[in-house]
Chains A and B, each alone.
Chain A
Amino acid sequence: MSQGLVADVIVIGAGIIGAACAQALARRGLRVLVLDAGLHGATAAGMGHLLVLDDNPAELALSQYSLQRWREQAPQLPEGCAYRNNGTLWLAANAEEMAVAESKYLNLQAQGVACELITRNALRSREPELRDGLEGGLLINGDGILYAPATADWMLDTPHIEQRRARVSEVDGHRVRLDDGQWLNAEAVILANGIQANELCPELPIEPKKGHLLITDRYPGKVTHTLVELGYVTSAHNATGPSTACNIQPRPTGQLFIGASRQFGTLAPQVEGWMLAKMLKRATEYMPGLAQLNGIRAWTGFRAASPDGLPLVGQHPKRKGLWLAVGHEGLGVTTAPGTADLLVAQLFNETPPLAAQPYLPQRFLGEAVYA
């Protein structure tokens, strides 16, 4: 570490992305200072669903690689991280959605992702609580779940990482100013603070997408896989207005998470009754028995969404020394390991484990102005 530097790298944001980057750097022997303002982030609010998504090749490449990395790390994760490889079961409500399931199946198979098509009859035996009359589904065997706040804490509990509760008010290349006026210098700064990234870099095309979640009391054994409707990819959820989609996830405690909702243009953290009702109605359309279960808590969070749904991972083209790891939307927990590996490879000027091009910030911010 050079004179006058507080660390080799400063990471802004102690969510799952910042924590994964910090851990990857620290494991290479770098000294990392992680600054976190203690604001509410997506890591604490999300479902901790680890899933392969294939809306486009870049999304598939990053999520598939990351899932592989999660499975490799799983044996080291402490029990509190609540990792389970329970699989995602995509639900097709009609023939049109079943056709989507089939084409996803072919696509994923071709890429080497383990998955099975589930017929109408097999669906009820896999998940007896689902309603009659669903068309079938697609089971992605390698998907899983974890408890992201504990996982981020585990990552940060790595030698060479120092954590500090501090709010950054300005970034200037490889140095940051704290809100008490103090400047901190490092070789590089990584911006990994989700929807708060815009406050430090107003040029970033990041938009908050509000989500609601509800958790039930404990009902062990009701649900096995994370259940997600395929309407998620085929219908309203890709539009710009507020929308909901059935997303039911069994927690290791026997509780169920019920989601999901999306709203744009709001930063109000309140649980909104109308959205909660809409979201729960959607979920009970798939699983009528949910109506009789007790919900014990509801909350909201904000996904940091980029215009093309892919994260921005790489050096800021106009601000040398500042590296970006933001804009993961709903896939931050899933793609944290892949993001960290991509970023670290670029920092060390190594060949990344997957093509870095689709995630480079240049696609929104223009070509680099430095050599």
Chain B
Amino acid sequence: MNEYADLLIIGAGPAGMSAALAAASSGGRIIVLDDNPLPGGQIWRDGPQASVPNQARQMRERLHAHSNIRHHGGTRVIACCGPRQLLVEDADHGWLIGYDKLILCTGARELLLPFPGWTLPGVTGAGGLQALIKGGLPVQDERVVIAGSGPLLLASAATAKHNGAHVLRIAEQASSMAVAGFALQLPRWPGKLLQSFTLFDRHYRTGSHVVAALGNERLEGVRLRQQGKIVELACDRLACGFGLIPNTQLGQALGCALDGTALAVDAWQATSQADHYAAGECTGFGGSELALVEGAIAGYAAVGDTAAARQLWPRRTRRQGFAKALNSAFSLNPHLKSLAQADTLVCRCEDVPYAALAGHTDWRAAKLASRCGMGACQGRVCGGALQYLFDWQPSAPRPPFNPARIETLMCLDDTPPA
């Protein structure tokens, strides 16, 4: 059942939904793919314990109402095959989708840094805990510590509290000066101000980071360094994330250039590759409002409605100001590079400790010697950590981009190119 789309959108978070809705009036055939079953991305993740905001619900209904938009949930991109064609897979089968234009809205993933005990059951990412709770994980009356960096800590704390958890501490590694400086700028973005008030919490501490997760079989407590002092808290869960890393792998595989760690885009959200656009967190972290406006610009630009796209430029500029302030306020303290001990696992798929990695010159050498990044996640977790810890650049993505059934890979045309 191979398919064709005038516009193929990868990712159904705020950027992808917004791009599809902007492009819908063109009347062209639009396909939106997403790994999750329902549109909404990470921020508007749905589930038994999720309360999806009205804006998300309305966007989802509008997507559904457009007969020229097709949504494939639970679908992953596996390989690029020839010009403007992707191999994709869902739970049941694999197929090829050809396209004329493409918008990458592949989002971002959490940066997880290794520290002693981080692989104990009960320890998750900050966004990870939020996703688990929305997906139905009960946390009623559990004692939760949230640590790491960035606004996601507050959002995760809010979700945990809303579901009956006792949030004992929110440990933000950034200094109080940096966070206060950022908060002072919040009035420039009124919507964000409101959000920050609902998220703010009296257990919030700046200049604080996790030192170790404690426990034998599972998490029993956490050791924190709080403004220079060591404190220990007994808890049932630790949610720890150090900000977000743009998901650029598919863009890179398609030949799109990077700007730093994110996909490079111009004023039209166009990448360096003709007819390939990108929007949202894969072009740099900026929150859902920025993703929405970038998605809309990309959607309009992709269907040739440059006037509509141009109209949104001022809104994007304003949101980018917020993103800049955020990224500089929550930049990571170099001290976090020394959390891992010699025996701390860095690659948890292949059980590779820190000591087996330190001393290598690059990731490839370390990988061949230690099997780091060779497991089922293919370096999605440890790759970001190694880039931060040792400044090792991950190697270029190769198909399959995600684990895929061999049956799916056999959908690729096996005749040699002429």
Instruction: Give the residues in chain A near B399, CB-CB below 8 Å.
Output: 271, 273, 276, 298
Q: Is the CB of A297 within 8 A of B79?
A: no
**Interface residues in A9-61 (C-beta closer than 8 Å to B):** 38, 44
Query: Do A273 and B412 contact each other (CB < 8 Å), given the known contacts A217-B403, A296-B378?
Result: yes
Q: Is the CB of A277 within 8 A of B400?
A: no
Q: Which of B39-47, B99-107, B183-191, B368-376 lines the interface with chain A?
A: B368-376
Instruction: Give the residues in chain B near A273, CB-CB below 8 Å.
Output: 79-82, 87, 399, 412-413
Q: Is the CB of B416 within 8 A of A291?
A: no
A280 at interface by CB-CB < 8 Å: yes
A150 at interface by CB-CB < 8 Å: yes
**Interface residues in B363-418 (C-beta closer than 8 Å to A):** 365, 368-369, 374-376, 378, 398-400, 403-407, 409-417
Q: How far is the CA of A290 from the CA of B399 in the complex (A)?
A: 18
A131 at interface by CB-CB < 8 Å: no
Residue-by-residue, is A254-291 near B (CB-CB < 8 Å gives 1, otherwise 0)? Answer: 00001000000000001101111110110110000011
Q: Is the CB of A298 within 8 A of B398?
A: yes
A363 at interface by CB-CB < 8 Å: no
Q: Is the CB of A284 within 8 A of B410?
A: yes
Query: Do A297 and B378 contact each other (CB < 8 Å), given the known contacts A280-B410, A291-B405?
Result: yes
Residue-by-residue, is A112-153 near B (CB-CB < 8 Å gives 1, otherwise 0)? Answer: 000000000000000000000000000000000000011001
Instruction: Give the residues in chain A near B374, CB-CB below 8 Å.
Output: 297
A106 at interface by CB-CB < 8 Å: no
B333 at interface by CB-CB < 8 Å: no
Q: How far is the CA of A214 from the CA of B404 in the complex (A)?
A: 11
**Interface residues in A212-234 (C-beta closer than 8 Å to B):** 214, 216-218
B341 at interface by CB-CB < 8 Å: no
Query: Do A271 and B409 contact each other (CB < 8 Å), given the known contacts A217-B403, A297-B378?
Result: no
Q: Which of A153, A275, A277 contacts B411 (CB under 8 A)?
A: A277
Q: Which of B398, B403, B414, B417 contacts A277 (CB under 8 A)?
A: B414
Chain A, Cβ-Cβ closest to B377:
A296
Instruction: Give the residues in chain A near B80, CB-CB below 8 Å.
Output: 273
Q: Is the CB of B81 within 8 A of A280?
A: no
B261 at interface by CB-CB < 8 Å: no
Q: Is the CB of B406 within 8 A of A284?
A: yes
Chain A, Cβ-Cβ closest to B375:
A296
Q: How far is the CA of A296 from the CA of B403 in the complex (A)?
A: 4
A165 at interface by CB-CB < 8 Å: yes
Q: Is the CB of A277 within 8 A of B410?
A: yes
Query: Do A296 and B406 contact each other (CB < 8 Å), given the known contacts A44-B368, A277-B414?
Result: no
Residue-by-residue, is A191-227 near B (CB-CB < 8 Å gives 1, otherwise 0)? Answer: 0000000000000000000000010111000000000
Chain A, Cβ-Cβ closest to B399:
A271
Q: Is the CB of B406 within 8 A of A292?
A: yes
Interface centre among B375, B406, B410, B414 (most CB of A within 10 A): B406
Chain B, Cβ-Cβ closest to A293:
B406
Q: How far is the CA of A291 from the CA of B369 in the complex (A)?
A: 30
Instruction: Give the residues in chain B near A149, CB-CB below 8 Å.
Output: 368-369
Instruction: Give the residues in chain B near A270, CB-CB below 8 Å.
Output: 398
Chain B, Cβ-Cβ closest to A283:
B406
**Interface residues in A299-344 (C-beta closer than 8 Å to B):** 299
Query: Do A296 and B410 contact each other (CB < 8 Å), given the known contacts A217-B403, A274-B416, A276-B399?
Result: no
Chain A, Cβ-Cβ closest to B404:
A295
B227 at interface by CB-CB < 8 Å: no
A111 at interface by CB-CB < 8 Å: no
Instruction: Give the residues in chain B near A217, CB-CB below 8 Å.
Output: 376, 403
A238 at interface by CB-CB < 8 Å: no
Instruction: Give the residues in chain B near A292, CB-CB below 8 Å.
Output: 405-407
Q: How far is the CA of A349 from the CA of B400 in the complex (A)?
A: 51
Q: Is the CB of B412 within 8 A of A277?
A: yes
Chain A, Cβ-Cβ closest to B379:
A297
Query: Do A297 and B398 contact each other (CB < 8 Å), given the known contacts A150-B369, A258-B406, A291-B407?
Result: yes
A358 at interface by CB-CB < 8 Å: no
B195 at interface by CB-CB < 8 Å: no
Instruction: Give the residues in chain A near B361, CB-CB below 8 Å.
Output: 38, 165
Chain B, Cβ-Cβ closest to A82:
B371
Q: How far is the CA of A218 from the CA of B416 in the complex (A)?
A: 31
Q: Is the CB of B413 within 8 A of A277?
A: yes
Q: How far is the CA of A188 from the CA of B416 in the complex (A)?
A: 45
User: How far in angstroms is the closest Cβ of chain B from A254?
Assistant: 12
A357 at interface by CB-CB < 8 Å: no
Q: Is the CB of B400 within 8 A of A278?
A: no
Q: Is the CB of A278 within 8 A of B409?
A: no
Interface centre among A283, A291, A292, A299 (most CB of B within 10 A): A291
Instruction: Give the residues in chain A near B413, CB-CB below 8 Å.
Output: 273-274, 277
User: How far in angstroms is the closest Cβ of chain A from B359?
Assistant: 12
Interface centre among A258, A291, A295, A298 (most CB of B within 10 A): A295
Q: How far is the CA of A292 from the CA of B91 in the complex (A)?
A: 11
User: How far in angstroms is the closest Cβ of chain A from B292?
Assistant: 34
Q: How far is the CA of A258 from the CA of B407 in the complex (A)?
A: 13
Q: Which of B87, B368, B369, B409 contacts A280 (CB under 8 A)?
A: B409
Interface centre among B404, B409, B412, B415 (most CB of A within 10 A): B409
Instruction: Give the residues in chain A near B400, CB-CB below 8 Å.
Output: 295-298
Q: Is the CB of B405 within 8 A of A293?
A: yes
Q: How far is the CA of A298 from the CA of B362 in the complex (A)?
A: 20
User: How far in angstroms is the closest Cβ of chain A from B75?
Assistant: 15
Chain B, Cβ-Cβ closest to A263:
B416
Query: Do A294 and B417 contact each other (CB < 8 Å), given the known contacts A44-B368, A274-B412, A280-B409?
Result: no
Chain A, Cβ-Cβ closest to B356:
A80
Instruction: Give the residues in chain A near B403, CB-CB below 8 Å.
Output: 217, 294-296
Instruction: Give the residues in chain A near B404, CB-CB below 8 Å.
Output: 294-295
List 29 A-B residue pairs with CB atoms under 8 Å apart, sorted by A's residue number.
Answer: A153-B369, A165-B361, A216-B406, A217-B403, A218-B376, A258-B406, A273-B412, A274-B416, A275-B416, A277-B413, A277-B414, A278-B414, A280-B409, A280-B410, A283-B406, A284-B406, A284-B407, A290-B406, A291-B410, A292-B407, A293-B406, A294-B405, A294-B406, A295-B405, A295-B406, A295-B409, A297-B374, A297-B398, A297-B400
CB within 8 Å of B: which residues of A?
38, 44, 149-150, 153, 165, 214, 216-218, 242, 258, 270-271, 273-278, 280-281, 283-284, 290-299
Extra pairs beyond A271-B398, A274-B415, A291-B405 (17, CB < 8 Å): A44-B368, A153-B369, A271-B399, A273-B79, A273-B87, A273-B412, A273-B413, A274-B416, A280-B406, A281-B410, A291-B410, A292-B405, A293-B405, A295-B404, A295-B406, A296-B403, A297-B378
- 4 closest Cβ contacts across the A-B interface? A277-B412, A291-B407, A273-B412, A278-B414
